[in-house]
């Protein structure tokens, strides 16, 4: 019987196989790196934001009765802020909240928490940012809007002031100091003006309208050095307008101060301000 000779593998073939295996391994490793990189990038974009912001709420609808206000987190559905029996012209203190999305719902005062809201809105709280959420307009055409507040400290011996035009009886308003310095010019209904710098101290502020010459109002304020104030222009009981000043931030605090309050709030800091001369705007009492 003839013997068959078995030859060893050729070294050349072995090298080719090894080179191919190495190339395949390199390609697999490169593909895995790309997949891991994509996964990491995707994970980065979905990392929850951190930090806190501030929210306050205002009832600026002249013919809407008292309301209860609730802020509810989108995530988890937890009620994070409640205000009871908020009446026309009241602006709440700021509430510090984690960044994220929330719903704001206003229901008739005393109604069940499950009652249908008179109006609602979705808001976003951003890190380090204060906002003011208001319901305004007549009850038949109730609206909400969010104003971004700027609490950048003013220069030394200065204050900063702006205007929110929420009076339904006039299309636009202008406010100037008794010395002629214009703080807001032709501010349209439903808007907030920019902030103006004013020297600290007592001022008389005069309100007029270019579209209704009969509309006039005035308020005396004593602006503390380093303070930031919003003037809310509202309807009064006699068919005209009234000005309600609210301190947004004071030099003595590290976080926003908040709304019209009794006791240690705005009236205590600024006793010269006639906040409620019209007789139809009452101090705010909030329930945290």
For residue 217, being part of any structural domain is answered with: yes
pLDDT, tens only, 107-131: 999 999 889 999 999 999 999 999 9
% of the chain exceeding 70 in pLDDT: 70
> Which residue bears the tokens 């306050």?
56
For residue 253, being part of any structural domain is answered with: yes
pLDDT at 113 (0 to 100): 80
For residue 284, being part of any structural domain is answered with: no
Mean pLDDT (the chain) is 80
Q: Residue 180: which domain range? A: 52-269
For residue 30, being part of any structural domain is answered with: no
pLDDT at 259 (0 to 100): 55
Global pTM value: 0.74
For residue 276, being part of any structural domain is answered with: no
137 has a pLDDT exceeding 70: yes
Q: How confident is the model at residue 25 (pLDDT cuts 50, 70, 90)?
A: low
Domain tally for the chain? Answer: 1
Euclidean distance between CA atoms 107 and 114, whole angstroms: 9
For residue 21, being part of any structural domain is answered with: no
pLDDT, tens only, 64-95: 999 999 999 999 899 999 999 999 999 999 99
pLDDT at 249 (0 to 100): 87
Sign of CA dihedral 78, 144, 54, 108: negative
Q: Where residue 210 sits, what CATH number does that domain have?
A: 2.60.40.10
For residue 17, being part of any structural domain is answered with: no
pLDDT at 4 (0 to 100): 46
DSSP state string for 221-271: EEEPTT-EEEEEEEE-TTSSEEEEEEEEE-TT-SS---S--STTSHHHH-T
Residue 18 or 207, more confident: 207
For residue 66, being part of any structural domain is answered with: yes
């Amino acid at each position: 019987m003839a013997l068959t000779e078995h030859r060893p593998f050729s070294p050349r073939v072995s090298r080719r196989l090894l080179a191919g295996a190495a190339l395949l391994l390199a390609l697999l490793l490169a593909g895995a790196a790309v997949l891991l990189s994509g996964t990491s990038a995707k994970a980065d974009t979905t990392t929850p934001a951190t930090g806190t912001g501030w929210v306050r709420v205002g009832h600026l609808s002249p013919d809407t009765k008292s309301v209860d206000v609730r802020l509810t987190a989108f995530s988890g559905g937890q009620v994070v802020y409640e205000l009871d029996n908020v009446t026309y012209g009241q602006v709440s203190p700021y509430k510090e909240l984690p960044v994220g999305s929330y719903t704001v719902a206003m229901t008739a005062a005393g109604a069940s928490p499950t009652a249908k809201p008179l109006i609602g809105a979705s808001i976003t709280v951003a890190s380090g940012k204060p906002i003011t959420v208001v319901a305004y307009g007549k009850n038949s055409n109730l609206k909400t809007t969010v104003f971004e507040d700027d609490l950048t400290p003013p220069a030394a011996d200065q204050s900063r002031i702006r205007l929110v035009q929420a009076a339904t009886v006039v299309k636009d308003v202008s406010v100037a100091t008794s010395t002629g310095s214009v703080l807001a010019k032709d501010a349209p209904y439903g808007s907030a003006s920019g902030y103006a710098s004013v020297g600290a101290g007592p001022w008389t502020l005069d309100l007029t309208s270019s579209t209704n010459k009969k509309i006039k109002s005035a308020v005396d304020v004593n602006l503390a050095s380093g303070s930031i104030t919003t003037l809310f222009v509202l309807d009064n009981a006699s068919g005209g307008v009234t000005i309600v000043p609210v301190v947004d931030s004071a030099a003595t605090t590290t976080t926003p101060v908040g709304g019209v309050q009794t006791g240690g709030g705005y009236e205590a800091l600024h006793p010269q301000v006639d906040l409620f001369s019209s007789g139809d705007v009452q101090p705010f009492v909030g329930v945290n």
